[in-house]
Amino acid sequence: MKATPLLGWYRALAIATGTALLVFCGFMVAKYGFDAAKDVTTYVAMLHGYLYIGYFVVTFMLGQKLKWPMGRLVLTLAAGCIPFLSFVFERKVAREAAEQLPAGGGARQPAGV
């Protein structure tokens, strides 16, 4: 199977989406528990939403390329909405994709090497 830059995009977006979700959860606690940071919570929620859209698209494309079954694809897509789960799935997907994809992760070799 040919190497793909989707794996790099997936890893970056999984980490970014997971981090934004954790920050968002913290702001939700501040908003509803302590009546603080009401305005900022909206912007953090929007940031997580935009990152999740990217995560969704890239994960779907990677799942199609790696021929994941539907259940695996749905669980990996849902991982962006459950705190800490995107970090767990990122490690698992990266390990499994490294076994399926050729070494180098999509880096091109110079001509004649």
pTM of the entire structure? Answer: 0.83
| Continuous H helices in the chain | 6-34, 38-65, 70-78, 85-100
pLDDT digits (tens, 9 = 90+) for 21-70: 999 999 999 999 999 888 999 999 999 999 999 999 999 999 999 999 99
- What pLDDT digit, counting tens, does each position of 72-110 carry? 999 999 999 999 999 999 999 999 888 887 655 445 545
Residue 104 φ then ψ, to 5°: 105, -20
**CA distance between the termini of the chain:** 21
Q: What is the pLDDT of residues 5-26, one digit of tens each?
A: 899 999 999 999 999 999 999 9
The C-alpha R_g of the chain, in whole angstroms, comes to: 17
Q: Is 102 exposed, middle or buried (0-12, 13-18, 19+ CB in 10 A)?
A: exposed
